């Protein structure tokens, strides 16, 4: 089992991160592991989450990463209240597996076109590292798979597997 | 396959050696033509010379006086091929501004290599920045920005530049009618962001480029016709002057697939004039800061449905935030933040104050605007241009457009004039059509038929010309100030 300090240590070694702390946060009636990362170069939560998963395995238990300017501290430890509010306000994308077949097919297309191992249904396309090449690739693959053409604007405003699946259903 | 600039130019020259790469005009305005083979040879020679001059220095850049000439075009291509950061400099930059720009370059580089008209590099020491050179990252090119505020800034494009068949030219430019191998006329100067990037995309996408050395509206029209130009980028100032031609013939534009305008806001009359000239499907407008934080695109037919919009984000997410950083609903004005794949990090700026970013990678250059329910963006005038008349905000563009609507007026610029009780009132500098005269009271009455009372100019000054940057943006700071007592400048 991976420990919270191990997650923090791996995150701190990422070139875009100065410092990281991990804590357990109560959200939606369950306990989730959330990390806060002080960034030095712009880097997104989903990219850091996938980085940890690659280093420690996708069963490492890390659900999401909050990007912070300065580490929020309370009583000498990372401020759990701050992390909980970041999750509640949607400032921290939590990983979620596809819920049905359409989401699964869209996520598989994203994963193949973007060369990303883990795609959560709420992950934002740009935060997951998408670029114009993968955007055009996904739009073309969706047209082949679902027989529906999307324009670039529709795709970019949907921006997540879940909202894209809603359009395609 | 992704290729270096040098390789790409060599490949095009090998495939189509005799096709025209560049058409320019010398000081005698005689036509000069370079085939792709000739162009590629000269680029390779100049790149070798530049590389040899720099030796092993990695903290040097090339500084290129970049009028729209064949040597400037070859010099830019050579620096990109040699993977030496290149800064295209306005040859007409006054010494004080030039020094300020060189100081900005000195924050990143120790030496500049000034390329002369024969493309020989001459080494010059750059003023050392007090804090010493910052963190080093590779740069493809540097562009001066901020021409409309008078405070020089330089933005750097991370390098080295590469040719990628999928992304050169960018998808947004392709959406705006760009095609590989097209004939393009470059009207704006190569030291400005939009013409510069259009030129390097043209280079990598095997265009035939015609360089107009200076803007004269009837000449632009003539070049489009003579060279059967297919793609053209203009500023609103260019567009206005071209529309002013009395014998404008739409058939002279038959070869044109698209006209794209950028750089400054376009007034509705000029926009409609061009939609009338070319038809709505050939008129495109792009809004996007030099810093490359995102772009919007709108075609003439979309604009006719939503007059005034600058379009929807293209591979760009847009968020309007209030002063506290919270997103506001459609229809509400706030600061325009954008996010795009080609995200620029904070370190990509020679002058770090250029942009503000959010933690999740949205960035702004400080423009204000609102989105409609369908995601179309409408911009408000920039804060520093807005004239505040006793608490009422006046958009100088609106006043200027009203004045230009008068038959005797060629150009106009509106500025704030200090006023004892109202804080400020509107003053205007007006350029009249040669040989005409008009009384101030008549112009005021003309404005009164188009504008609310507080927007009507209270001070009129007649001038020979309005200072504009070569990109067509009004340089308000170059105008002599009005004085408290309302007297016009001497």
Domains of chain B: 3-377 (3.40.50.12780), 387-478 (3.30.300.30)
Q: CATH number for the A101-168 domain, one of 3.40.50.300, 1.10.1200.10, 3.40.50.740, 3.40.50.10260?
A: 1.10.1200.10
Q: Who's near B279: CB < 8 A, 6+ residues apart? A: B300
Residue B380 — φ and ψ, nearest 5°? -95, 160
pLDDT tens readout for residues A145-157: 999 999 899 999 9
Using the Cβ of B110 and the Cβ atoms of chain A, whether some distance falls under 8 Å is answered with: no
- Is the CB of residue A154 less than 8 Å away from at least one CB of chain B? no
Give the residue from chain B lying closest to A130, CA to CA.
B341
pLDDT tens digit string along B33-50?
A: 999 999 999 999 999 999
CA distance B384 to A38: 34
| Reduced 3-state DSSP string for B325-363 | CCECCCCCCEEEEEECCCCCCHHHECCCCCCEECCCCCE
pLDDT digits (tens, 9 = 90+) for B62-96: 999 999 999 999 999 999 999 999 999 999 888 88
Highest mean pLDDT among B256-265, B298-307, B364-373: B298-307
Give the ranges where B294-452 is alpha helix by DSSP (H): 300-305, 396-404, 440-448
Instruction: Please give, rounded to a whole number of angstroms, the shortest distance from the CA of A1 to a CA of chain B.
Output: 30
Please list every residue in chain B whose beta carbon sits closer than 8 Å to the beta carbon of residue A152.
171, 175, 314-315
Around Cβ B463, how many Cβ atoms within 10 Å? 18
Helices of type H across B154-291? 171-175, 193-204, 217-226, 236-243, 268-278
pLDDT band at residue A32 under the 50/70/90 scheme? very high
Minimum mean pLDDT among B21-30, B144-153, B159-168: which range?
A: B144-153
Spatial separation of the C-alpha atoms in residues B389 and B394, rounded to whole Å:
7
Q: How far apart are CA B468 and CA B450, in angstroms?
A: 25
Tell me the chain A residues in contact with residue B315 when contact means C-beta distances shorter than 8 Å.
Answer: 132, 135, 152, 156
* Residues β-bridged to residue B431: B411
Cα three-residue angle B228-B189-B137, rounded to 5 degrees: 120
What the block records as the tokens of B126 is 């750059």
Q: Which two tokens stand for residue A118?
A: 């883990």
**Architecture of domain A4-88 in CATH?**
2-Layer Sandwich (3.30)
Q: What is the DSSP string of B223-254?
A: HHHHTT--EEEE-HHHHHHHHT-TT--GGGGT
Nearest chain A Cα distance for residue B317, angstroms: 7
* Helix (H/G/I), strand (E/B), else coil: A88: helix
Quote the Cα angle for B129-B132-B135, to 5°: 120
Residue in the block written with tokens 């701190």: A12
Helix axes B36-54, B5-15, angle to 10 degrees: 160
Give ipTM to 2 decimals.
Answer: 0.85
Q: What is the mean pLDDT of residues B2-7?
A: 96
Cis peptide before B160 (omega within 30 of 0): yes
What phi and psi, each to the nearest 5 degrees, are found at residue B145? -130, 180
pLDDT at B151: 62
- Residue-level pLDDT at B485: 47
Shortest CA gap A114–chain B (Å): 12
**Which helix (H) or strand (E) covers residue B387, if one does?**
strand B387-389
pLDDT value of residue B383: 62
Instruction: With CB atoms and an 8 Å threshold, state whether B346 touches A41.
Output: yes
Residue boundaries of the structural domains of chain A: 4-88, 101-168
What is the pTM for the complete model shown?
Answer: 0.80
Candidate from B316, B347, B360 with C-beta closest to A156: B316
Task: Summarize pLDDT for A78-92 with one digit per residue, the tens.
Answer: 999 999 999 998 889
């Amino acid at each position: 089992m991976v420990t919270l300090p191990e997650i923090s240590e791996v995150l701190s070694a990422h070139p875009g991160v100065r410092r990281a702390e991990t804590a357990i946060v109560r959200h939606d009636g369950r306990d989730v592991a959330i990390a806060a990362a002080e960034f030095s170069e712009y880097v997104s939560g989903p990219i850091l989450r996938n980085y940890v998963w690659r280093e420690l395995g996708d069963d490492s238990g890390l659900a999401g990463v909050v990007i912070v300017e300065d580490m929020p501290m309370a009583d000498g430890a990372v401020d759990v209240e701050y992390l909980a509010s970041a999750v509640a306000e949607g400032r921290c994308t939590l990983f979620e597996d596809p819920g049905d077949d359409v989401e699964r097919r869209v996520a598989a297309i994203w994963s193949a076109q973007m060369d990303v191992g883990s795609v959560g249904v709420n992950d934002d396309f740009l935060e997951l590292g998408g670029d114009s090449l993968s955007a055009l690739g996904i739009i073309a693959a969706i047209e082949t798979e679902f027989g529906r053409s999307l324009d670039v604007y529709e795709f970019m405003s949907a921006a997540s597997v879940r909202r894209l699946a809603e359009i395609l259903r | 396959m992704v290729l270096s600039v040098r390789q790409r130019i060599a490949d095009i020259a090998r495939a189509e050696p005799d096709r025209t790469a560049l058409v320019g005009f010398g000081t005698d305005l005689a036509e000069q033509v370079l085939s792709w083979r000739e162009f590629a040879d000269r680029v390779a020679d100049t790149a070798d010379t530049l590389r040899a001059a720099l030796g092993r220095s990695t903290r040097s850049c090339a500084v290129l006086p970049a009028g729209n000439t064949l040597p400037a075009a070859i010099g830019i291509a050579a620096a990109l091929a040699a993977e030496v950061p290149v800064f295209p400099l306005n040859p007409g930059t006054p010494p004080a501004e030039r020094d300020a720009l060189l100081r900005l370059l000195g924050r990143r580089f120790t030496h500049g290599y000034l390329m002369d008209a024969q493309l020989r590099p001459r080494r010059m020491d750059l003023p050392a920045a007090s804090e010493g050179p910052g963190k080093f990252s590779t740069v493809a090119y540097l562009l001066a920005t901020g021409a409309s505020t008078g405070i020089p800034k330089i933005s750097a494009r991370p390098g080295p530049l590469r040719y990628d068949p999928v992304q050169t030219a960018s998808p947004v430019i392709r959406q705006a009618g760009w095609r590989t191998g097209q004939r393009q006329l470059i009207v704006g100067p190569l030291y400005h962001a939009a013409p510069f990037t259009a030129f390097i995309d043209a280079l990598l996408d095997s265009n035939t480029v015609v360089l107009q050395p200076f803007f004269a509206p009837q000449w632009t029209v003539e070049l489009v016709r003579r060279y059967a130009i297919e793609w053209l980028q203009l500023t609103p100032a260019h567009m206005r002057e071209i529309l002013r031609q009395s014998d404008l013939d739409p058939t002279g534009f038959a070869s044109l697939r698209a006209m794209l305008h950028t750089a400054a806001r376009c007034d509705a009359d000029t926009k409609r004039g061009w939609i009338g000239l070319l038809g709505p499907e050939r008129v495109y407008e792009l809004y996007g800061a030099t810093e490359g934080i995102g772009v919007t695109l709108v075609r003439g037919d979309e604009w006719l449905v939503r007059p005034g919009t600058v379009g929807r984000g293209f591979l760009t997410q847009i968020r309007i935030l209030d002063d506290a950083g919270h997103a506001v609903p459609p229809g509400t004005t706030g600061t325009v933040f954008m996010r795009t794949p080609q995200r620029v990090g904070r370190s990509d700026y020679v002058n770090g104050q250029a942009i503000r970013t959010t933690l999740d990678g949205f960035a702004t250059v400080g423009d204000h605007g609102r989105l409609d329910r369908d995601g179309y963006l409408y911009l408000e005038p920039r804060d520093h241009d807005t004239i505040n008349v006793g608490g009422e905000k006046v958009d100088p563009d609106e006043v200027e457009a009203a004045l230009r609507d008068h038959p005797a007026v060629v150009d106009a610029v509106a500025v704030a004039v200090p006023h004892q009780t109202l804080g400020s009132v509107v003053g205007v500098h007006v350029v009249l059509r040669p040989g005409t005269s008009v009384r101030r009271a008549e112009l005021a009455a003309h404005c009164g038929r188009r504008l609310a009372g507080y927007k009507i100019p209270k001070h009129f000054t007649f001038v020979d010309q309005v200072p504009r940057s070569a990109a067509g943006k009004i340089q308000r700071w170059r105008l002599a100030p009005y004085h408290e007592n309302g007297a016009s400048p001497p």
